[in-house]
Amino acid sequence: MALKVLIVDDDFINRKLLSTLLKKNPSVTDMIEAENGSDALDKLKKDQDIDLILLDIMMPVVDGIEFLKIFRSNMANSHIPVIVLSTDDTRKTEVFDNGANDFLRKPVKQEELTAKIVQWT
């Protein structure tokens, strides 16, 4: 299976770390990076082939919660699974209430990420 993953995180280093983890997964063939929720929404409008979204919560411009609200209510491809990545466990209920499919605590471990990719794709 060839998967295209959208990585949404304002931190360049976090995006690169996630890319490195994803490259170790043979089913992930393509990765797209977005710096914030607004950038991610633009990329989702242009690319209808994204299979999975890895989403940070704390970002400038449009944060993860706002992204989820817009994405789940207004986007044609709103069925795409979204895994939220955060250091803040206290926002789990909020992310699930706004349409996240799953949650991983940062720093993300290879085994956990792989298991979630298998589960949601």
Strands 3-8 and 28-34: parallel
Specify whether the backbone of 99 is left (phi greater than 0), alpha (psi in -120 to 50) or beta. Answer: left
Run of H or E residues at 3: strand 3-8
Q: What is the pLDDT of residue 75?
A: 81
Higher local confidence (pLDDT), 56 or 121: 56
| CA-based max dimension of the chain | 34
The model's pTM:
0.95
Q: What is the pLDDT of residue 88?
A: 86
Report yes or no: 40 and 3 within 8 Å, Cβ to Cβ.
no
Question: Is pLDDT at 1 greater than 80 in this prediction?
Answer: no
Q: Among 36-40, 43-47, 60-64, 72-76, which stretch is predicted with the lowest mean pLDDT?
A: 72-76
Report yes or no: 58 and 86 within 8 Å, Cβ to Cβ.
yes
Report yes or no: 99 and 80 within 8 Å, Cβ to Cβ.
no
pLDDT confidence of 74, banded at 50, 70, 90?
confident
* 28, 71, 112 from 24: Cα distances, Å: 8, 28, 13
State the fold for domain 3-120.
Rossmann fold (3.40.50)
